[in-house]
Structure 1
């Protein structure tokens, strides 16, 4: 997409403020106190989750035939994977392995995105036990894949699930201008 933008004179939207805000939200200490593992994989999962919630909001904003919303979402998605590529290289992963790792990360992203979409479908209510349970089950599967299915499901992840539902509800009132300015909900789990 970058080459086409260069050829046609279009510049990708600046997503740096939004991405910085997402990274800060994904690294917030209360998330890890609420049940997210403070590991490389756990941090990746928290970043994927926050990115996907913002992309879901941008998808809704784009339903009004808003091409800027689509362009911003694509630029944010591309920036995420560019950042993952740079991070892998900084960690010392060899050039020949980076592509394979990015491909695995993309598969992980799409798998998690699909699971979160299913869990978050329907009316969102942070006070609904059924909604919290649905999200907590997906969190358990993604954050603790090697554990027994029941070991990290509600109530241990209910607080984190409630946070996710509240974060998405907070995004529900954000405009494209607010999101592009890096304004994401500041909610504590």
Structure 2
């Protein structure tokens, strides 16, 4: 017979092991330099686009170590849960949230593909303009800042062993 204490004992959510990494993704994406020097719009869409960019770079790095694949899945689940919660907090109803989360996952999937482009390439620049500025050409200085920071973030991630990344609470440095 199962005791009541065992029946109601909650098991820790294994995704919570990735919470520090998720928090670091969000903190990195919310660093003021993206919006000030990079001129990324500081709007709901702009913030989502920055989180998607940083998330894609982190997931690319996790993909480099197939043994850590579950960490990428768990991180993505935290992304979904957070986006769901954010939409509910600003007043989206149940009927809308599911569709919006589906769109966000589709957007993240597309960004996972295009953000594999080589640093500094025309392909990467075009993807950044299309996604971060919604196709509106940013100033040269803003685009140059974002391109340089993406390369720096990718280099910091590449220098970090994946096993260390998935248990760490930083992405190669403190947000500026």
The TM-score range, normalised by the shorter chain, is 0.7 to 0.9
Partners of 1:152 and 1:82 in 2: CA distance: 31
Structure 2: gaps (5+ residues): 1-10
2:130 to 129, 141, 160: 141
Q: Does 1:157 align with 2:143?
A: yes
Could you tell me how far 1:10 is from its partner in structure 2? Answer: 9.9
Q: Highest CA radius of gyration, 1 or 2?
A: 2
Partners of 2:139 and 2:126 in 1: CA distance: 5
Counterparts of residues 92-171 of structure 1 (less than 5 Å):
92-117=91-116, 119-120=117-118, 124=119, 131=120, 133-147=122-136, 151-152=137-138, 154-171=140-157
Cα deviation 1:36-85 (Å, max 9, x = unaligned): 111100000110111111110000022xxx1xx11111000111001101
Q: Does 1:19 align with 2:22?
A: yes
Q: Is the 8 A contact 2:18 2:167 kept in 1?
A: yes
Cα deviation 1:12-46 (Å, max 9, x = unaligned): 34111001111111100011111211110000011
Q: Is the 8 A contact 1:21 1:183 kept in 2?
A: yes
Could you tell me how far 1:108 is from its partner in structure 2? Answer: 1.1
**Structure-2 residue corresponding to 1:77:** 76
Of 84-93 and 137-146, more deviation after overlay is shown by 137-146
Given the two structures, how large is their TM-score scaled by the length of structure 1?
A: 0.78
Partners of 2:106 and 2:40 in 1: CA distance: 21
Q: Is the 8 A contact 1:171 1:185 kept in 2?
A: yes
Q: Does 1:58 align with 2:47?
A: no
Secondary structure, counterpart of 1:15 in structure 2: helix
Equivalent pairs, count: 163
Q: Is the 8 A contact 2:27 2:175 kept in 1?
A: no
Given the two structures, how large is their TM-score scaled by the length of structure 2?
A: 0.83
Q: Using a 3 Å threshold, how does the CA distance of structure 1 residues 163 and 30 change in structure 2: closer, same or farther?
A: same
